[in-house]
Structure 1
Amino acid sequence: MGWLDRVTDQADHLREARKLQQADRSAEASRLLERVAETTRDPYARTDALVQRLGTLINLGRTAEYGPAMDRAFEAVQELPEPYVRGQLHAFAALAAHHQGALDRCVMHLVQSSRALSVVTDPDSDAAWGWHDLAMAYSYLAFHGYALSAIERARKIGAAAGMPEEVLAAPGIRLRNAIALDHAGDTDGCLRVLRDVSDDLTRIHRAGHLDRIRPSGRAAYGYTVARRAALGEGSAADARALLGHGGDSARARDLRRLGEVCLSIADGRTTDALSQLGAVTVAPETLGAAEPARLRSISYARAGDHEAAHRADRLAFRLATQRNDRLREVYVDGIAARLDQEEMRRAAARTGGEALTDPLTGLPNRRRLEAYVAGLAEQGERAALGVCDLMGFTSVNTVHGHHAGDLVLQRVAGVINRVMRRGDFVARYGGDEFVVVLPGAGMAQATEVGRRISTALAAEDWEALVPTTPISARLGWAEINGSAPEGRGGLAEALVRAFRTVTA
């Protein structure tokens, strides 16, 4: 049974919205999907509408709306055990995270999307489109090998479901793979891939099936032809007509702008090409951040200015490799995060099960904190209790949504856990407040631990995770003394004193 077969309300409107999206009329689809989400009582219909609407916002490049739209979609998805829609939502969320500059969050969503879609067993069109959307996300984010594997899986599922092969042609995936090869210095490899894509276009055109290709796909075919011509191979005769397709997609507009540059180069109008490049601004994920610089290099080379061409080519190569450096950082950060989570899980197991563990961060919760402090008091031990109050967290939820807020809290938990001394206790007290307890410590030791926490949090790359919303912390401390008069050694009284001493 397909996903829409489960919808009992407004299924026709949802099918119409999908047709609009496949025709790259995202603005119309977005308005229709919002009406469905606001009026339906069917949880399947509402979930589908919210997930698909996030996709339309990404197509339109309406970045300011990504955070709230993701929050609504993830909230709806939590109520339904449907792997297909979860997989599709995570694919869209990966694109949104990339737009927001959060590559680590982007990679996380890609992994979750693949895992969810792998659970889908029905070979229907919904599953095929799910893998198609994941393949497109991989491609736009420059994971070209993964993109090619995912689109091949989409085609196999689509063939089993009786879908025409041209519907899932996705020429943009191979186009971006070719352009990436050129940016890395393998122009011969780039041309080989562009020729293959051009051959597919010729075959589809001769069969009279060009109308089965999505408008955005036709624009990708147009850029393929234009880019080959810019490199001095083939004719650009049909490129402009193909580039005119693509509807209201932001990426199709980028292809048209860069396609005109390629056509100017192919016609020998290098001055026009350089002028066009100076006036155009395109999203880096359309064809990679290096594409404008690479086209500038080709233009200078055609004009005979080889020194300028060399400088532009070096810039293109540097832009192409910057992302690989960031990916290596994400890989290292991911390993560190997994180690942090494993340590927190072991700590939670030692302190007593899920009822005493915060499910989001894996840290001991308020209940376990109360029991721990009570135990210290009963044994007459002294300790330093610190309150860590996050600054800027409210803005994260407002600007990026609660899903991003959860990721920040998880990161903060890992950072604090890493810098604590052996035997210290860390808990999530509630909201954005964390509490640390240092057994046997006085204020001098507490101040040093507080400095380590503040320094570690300040060193985190918050701009990559939640751009324009920096995170910092204020810490306050109080002493717990088990031998003090009744009331002076308890958690509640210590928290009051610690909050009073919170400093920026």
Structure 2
Amino acid sequence: MVSAEIGVEPGGDAEALGRLIRAGRSAEVVELADSFLSTAPDAAEYAQILLMKLGALINVGRVSECPEVADQAHAALGRCDEPALLGEFHALAANVADQQGSLDGCVAHLVRGSRALELVRVHDHPAAMAWLDLAVTYSGVGFHGHAVNALHRAQAIARSAGLDPADFTHPEIRIRVAVALDHKGDTAACVSILSDVLNCVGPADVAQFELPYLGYAMARLAALGTPSSCDPLPLLWADVSPFGEAVELRTLGEACLAIADGQHTTALARLEEAAGYTRAMGAAEVPRLRAIALAAAGDHPAAHLAERAVMKVIARDADRLHGLFVEGVSARLDHDELRRIVTRYADEAHTDPLTGLPNRRHLERYVDELAERGTYGAIGVADLDGFKTVNTVHGHLAGDQVLQRVAAILSRTLRTGDFLARYGGDEFVIVLPMTDLDEATRLGDRLIAAICADDWSTLVPGTPVTLTVGWAELNGRTGLVAAFRAADMVMLRAKVAQS
């Protein structure tokens, strides 16, 4: 559960929303936030209220509504110099991207959040809470080392600022570390960490919504043959509504207790109910508990198959990270190529700030120069298909990332001497000097294939990114305006034909 407690002045509207979130009343925050926006005294509090609404939407599971609020919050943060709030924004946006299945977008926000928080010089509540929410998201995604480091940063700032340590204990992060180690075969380390957590932290030392995690640590130890002296059931059933992960922890915890009691059939039945539970402890936890239950029941062949399922989940996650690493290297090379291109356009008035490509003004100047030299060629208008859906589903920040990646793909696919500009929105213009329409069409097919071949599922899952291109002749007789209109009409007719 994210906190989104942004550290505001007592008595303000944002502070009232913060109290509701701490009381587990996130649904009310969603309903009240918009009315509070109209009375926000400055851009900082306006952004704080939007961030609280964003955190509340995450808490109540209304993720489809988050991108629009995230766009509004990002725009508001652009009007104030608040690195702690910016770090908090990226922590929440990373959580949303993760729930939408965008590992690429999630990691990008996590890195940006860390960089923003490194700029914070004041040890106060906003900085501590931002580091904490960053830690929670790192943990949920499975970057446990980064999660622990971010948690330590939050706790150090909290101690320095004299804040309540219970708000920053967050045992869930170390509990996830322990469970992840068990998934990888290091059960002894898992038992050691879980035991240490329970020795250091009790129910009175944590926020209310962390109680089910403590209960789960006790139950998990019991399933591994190390029962606790305390009864975990009251903690597993603590009222932390609308904290959705509590339901997962309760079901998995009851399966663990059934394993410990030798009720293997009951445990396996509870695990069948938990088949889709992945948020609290990861996708490998259900097959791992199934393996423990089957081994305890003496069905070792079935337990072996369940362990194979655990390894399959771990290997899949590793493959995703390897793919992200390769894409990161590719993106870096594309960025280097774009930088080389941008050096040719030193005048910022002629450069698109988002992609670094020449803009419309530069395009006009370039075509005028071709006309003066009497050079013929082809002009192409390239437009992304369904780009509005990307912005609607994933938000404008993800849309900007798509445009940057498209610019990089087009740049590396074009030939030396070809000219690429961003005309506006999701529209790009390509000028191919000394090229006839047949050759331009073949090159256009390569551009379309390059965009289609990219793995967009890691950045904007569920919203495929494709390209349509129209071509027209460009010469001294037609001029830029007429050639552009002709190419645009060809592109629009192609879109109609595809639909």
What's the TM-score once normalised by structure 2's chain length?
Answer: 0.93
What is the letter of the counterpart of residue 40 of structure 2? T
Query: Of 417, 438, 447, which residue of structure 1 is paired with 2:411?
Result: 417
Distance 2:299 2:277 in 1: 27
Instruction: Name the SS of the counterpart of 1:285 in structure 2.
Output: coil
Aligned residues of 1:182 and 1:189 also touching (Cα < 8 A): yes
Q: Alpha carbons of 1:282 and 1:211: their partners in 2 closer, same or farther (altered >3 Å)?
A: farther
Q: Which residue of 206, 210, 219 corresponds with 1:217?
A: 210
1:448 CA displacement: 1.9
**What does residue 423 of structure 2 align with?**
429
Alignment: residue pair count = 488
What are the equivalent positions in structure 2 for 1:381-420 lying under 5 Å apart? Answer: 381-420=375-414
Q: Is the 8 A contact 2:6 2:18 kept in 1?
A: no
- Distance in structure 1 (CA, Å) of the matches to 2:23 and 2:188: 34
Correspondence list, 1:310-389, <5 A = 310-389=304-383
Q: 2:222 aligns with which of 221, 226, 229?
A: 229
Q: Residue type of the partner of 2:486?
A: R
Q: Amino acid of the residue matched to residue 25 of structure 1?
A: R
Indicate whether 1:492 and 2:492 are aligned: no
**Alpha-carbon distance in structure 1 between the residues aligned to 2:246 and 2:451:** 40
Q: Which residue of 1 aligns with 2:14?
A: 14
**Aligned partner of 2:488: which letter?**
F
Which residue does 1:181 correspond to in 2? 181
Structure 1 residue 357, shift from structure 2 partner? 0.8
Structure 2 CA distance for aligned equivalents of residues 393 and 72 of structure 1: 19
**Which residue of the partner structure matches residue 287 of structure 2?**
293
Deviates most, 300-309 or 173-182: 300-309
Q: CA deviation at 1:145?
A: 0.5
- Letter of the 1:264 partner, please give it: A
Show CA shifts across 1:258-280 (max 9, x none): 11221222222221121122223
Task: Write the letter of the residue equivalent to 1:491.
Answer: L
Tell me: CA distance 1:341–1:23, structure 2 relative to 1, closer, same or farther (3 Å).
Answer: same
Q: Deviations over 1:202-260 (max 9, x none)?
A: xx4xxxxx434111222111110010001111237421111123331112222122112
Counterpart CA distance in 2 for 1:142 and 1:47 is: 29
Counterpart Cα distance in 1 of 2:48 and 2:275 = 33
Contact map agreement 1:429 1:435 (CA 8 A) in 2: yes
The answer on whether the counterparts of 1:380 and 1:481 sit within 8 Å (CA) in structure 2 is yes
Gap runs ≥5 in structure 1: 205-209
TM-score normalised to structure 1 length = 0.93
Structure 1 stretch displaced more, 422-431 or 460-469: 460-469
Please state how far the C-alpha of 1:320 moved relative to its aligned partner.
2.0
**2:97 partner amino acid:** A
Q: CA 1:199/1:162 → structure 2, altered by over 3 Å: closer, same or farther?
A: same
CA 1:277–1:37: 2 relative to 1, 3 Å: farther
Q: CA deviation at 1:380?
A: 0.4
8 A contact 2:44–2:82 mirrored in 1 = no
Change (3 A) 1:103 1:180: same
Residue range with higher mean Cα deviation, 212-221 or 355-364: 212-221
CA distance in 2, matches of 1:232, 1:23: 36
Q: Does 1:463 align with 2:457?
A: yes
Note the alpha carbon deviations across 1:8-30, whole angstroms, 9 max, x for none: xx943322322332343322333
| 1:128 paired residue number | 128
Rounded Cα–Cα distance in structure 2 between residues aligned with 1:128 and 1:135 = 11
> C-alpha displacement at 1:4, in angstroms?
5.0
Name 1:207's counterpart in structure 2.
Answer: none
What's the offset of the Cα at 1:39?
4.2
Task: After superposing the two structures, state which structure 1 stretch, 13-22 or 44-53, moved more.
Answer: 13-22
